[in-house]
A and B are shown apart, each in its own frame.
Chain A
Amino acid sequence: MTTPFYVSPQQAMADRAEYARKGIARGRGLVVLQYADGIVFVAENPSRALHKVSEIYDRIGFAATGKYNEYENLRIGGVRYADLRGYTYDRADVTARGLANVYAQTLGTIFSSAGEKPYEVELIVAEVGDAPEDDQIYRLPHDGSIIDEHGSVAVGGNADQISAYLDQRHEDGMTLGAALRLAVQALGRDGNGGERSLTGDQLEVAVLDRTRPQRRKFKRVLGRRLSELLEPAAGSGGGAGESDGADSDAKGSGSKTSDAKDSAGKTAEGKDSDAKESGSKDGSED
């Protein structure tokens, strides 16, 4: 029988934290910003089928970075939690704070249990309120703590630099276009001070838009709408892109006009508002 080496608890926890942090840092960056009409999620994600950002409930969005199977598992758990709570009580009784708490308990328990490997994920849970002051953004690192964030937050690879960049430049009451362009600039900065320029098809963008008339405020920003927001310099086209209302009200102009790819010629970009997460999937099949 072999005698195990003694490892101090401090050392054991530090090793686990180090392991989780390294896993998270390998992932691509993800930022969440408040803007005038809500909260925008921007992730660097070339995949059209595997989402980093998704809808949990009417006013609650979810974003994650790290290991896909682990955060996908937590996402589905969150959807089940929210739906069961809303079914048992009322839709108004599902809150981001409650959900963040459950996630924190889950992550914390897994982190400190010796039998399980710590999850290599970092989550963001955000809820859009009736006014910007009521917006809530929670960041949940791998160890089960909760950080209440305001304005802007970055997670994933190179998060420290990205969030420092955002902190200096983010202002309250930005338009969606301005917030999105800032997010893309921030995500394009690498550790050595270099810059890359990210295009629409490398990004996954979604908003929680408090001005949406529907009960469900989550909406993906795809295709032509995304390129309009990214390039305001394109004359009148950019101006039209800034007027959020017209497009978010235009519900479903048919699933045939899916344009998750940058297809400037297509007519209607209302698809994303109704098809929610499906939009991008259709696009990849086009």
Chain B
Amino acid sequence: MAANSHDQGRLPAPYLTPGSSSFMDFLSTHAPEQLPGSRPLPSVQGAVQAPHGTTIVAVAFPGGVVLAGDRRATMGNMIAQRDIEKVFPADEYSAVGIAGTAGLAVEMVRLFQLELEHFEKVEGDTLSLEGKANRLSTMIRGNLGMAMQGLAVVPLFAGYDTDRAVGRIFSYDVTGGRSEEYGFAAVGSGSVFARGSLKKLHRADLTEEQAATVAVQALYDAADDDSATGGPDVARRIYPVVAVIAESGYRRLDEDEVTTVARSVLDGRLQLPNGPLAPLV
């Protein structure tokens, strides 16, 4: 009768093993082939051609944080997609924006979302914001092999810390190194130009709408000087994805709101093509 315990259909042992609240841990014991980092690397020379996502910016304001991304994906010198979305909710109080290889990044975000939800369901409580940021770090580190073949994924993580009641931003490097950013941050190919713009425009007392405007201004500046970042596409009505995370949770600005912000930025640029002027001293 002992053979009965090997009946098919019964939940296999890893499902019923207590101890871990991590979905990634469960995958690594039960279905390692589904874990992005544990696949064998194909042996190819040189960079692999795949769509890349470009610029993501984050702007903190009192009581929350705004995360925004442009809509372009490029493959070499070609535009691979005009309306890609690169900003995703991670859970109720956090969001992740991704630069780098789009295919791998989207898979990483799916797994990250599930990791947070799984923990919440098993434990009956959510992870701390630091805990979430650390989980993301581990996932990026798992992708290091791919990154060395030119398929890097570099996210920007932003969330509302319910304990401290502030919005916080975390940036990463390809090795999974994590650092907290204060005020604002940018990643991706246009991030150099976006950061210059953010430096001049960011202030500590921004409102939610102003923070969204600062983010769209920075993306405009990035698109102005970086060919891989897409600017607002008026003809097709494709505008950046802008998300706000505050005490009330994650909220993506709807089409009308983003259109209003993007239009006001565009109107301003018709007068001053280089954007608002900062005082000299």
Contact = CB atoms under 8 A, between A and B. Distances in A.
Given A87-B111, A109-B4, A276-B120, A102 B125 contact: no
A238 interface: no
A105 B114 CA distance: 26
Nearest to B23: A83
Contacts of A54: 121, 124
Interface stretch (B26-34, B51-59, B129-137): B26-34
Interface string B1-32: 11011010111001110100001001100110
A254 B247 contact: yes
A77 B15 contact: yes
Contacts of B2: 113-115
Contact of A109 (B7, B110, B114): B7
A115 B5 contact: yes
A140 B225 CA distance: 63
Given A113-B2, A277-B121, A80 B9 contact: no
A275 B127 CA distance: 11
Given A54-B121, A113-B2, A252-B249, A275 B126 contact: yes
Contact of B118 (A79, A110, A115, A278): A79
Interface string B87-112: 00000110000000000000000110
Interface in B201-227: none
Q: Most chain-B CB neighbours within 10 Å: which of A72, A103, A109? A: A109
A11 interface: no
B124 A51 contact: yes
B248 interface: yes
A251 B248 contact: yes
Contacts of A74: 11, 16
B117 interface: yes
Given A76-B122, A84-B30, A102 B9 contact: yes
A281 interface: yes
A271 to B, nearest CB: 11
Contacts of B34: 84, 87-88
Nearest to A282: B125
Given A54-B124, A77-B15, A251-B249, A84 B92 contact: no
Given A80-B26, A84-B30, A252-B247, A109 B124 contact: no
B11 A77 contact: yes
A68 interface: no
B80 to A, nearest CB: 24
B81 interface: no
B162 interface: yes
A109 B10 contact: yes
A253 to B, nearest CB: 8
Contact of B15 (A72, A80, A251, A275): A80
Contacts of B15: 76-77, 80-81
Given A79-B118, A84-B26, A116 B5 contact: yes
From B34, B111, B114, B121, residue with most partner A Cβ within 10 Å: B121
A109 B5 CA distance: 6
Contact of B16 (A55, A77, A105): A77
A277 B162 contact: no
Interface in B230-278: 247-249
A109 B8 CA distance: 9
B98 to A, nearest CB: 18
Given A87-B111, A278-B126, A73 B249 contact: no
A85 to B, nearest CB: 11
Interface of B: 1-2, 4-5, 7, 9-11, 14-16, 18, 23, 26-27, 30-31, 34, 92-93, 110-111, 114, 117-118, 120-122, 124-126, 162-163, 165, 247-249
Q: Which 3 A-B pairs have the closest CB atoms?
A: A277-B124, A105-B9, A77-B15
Given A73-B18, A86-B114, 10 more contacts: A73-B16, A84-B23, A106-B11, A106-B16, A109-B4, A113-B5, A253-B248, A275-B126, A278-B125, A281-B124
8 contacts: A51-B124, A54-B121, A76-B15, A84-B23, A102-B11, A112-B1, A112-B4, A115-B5
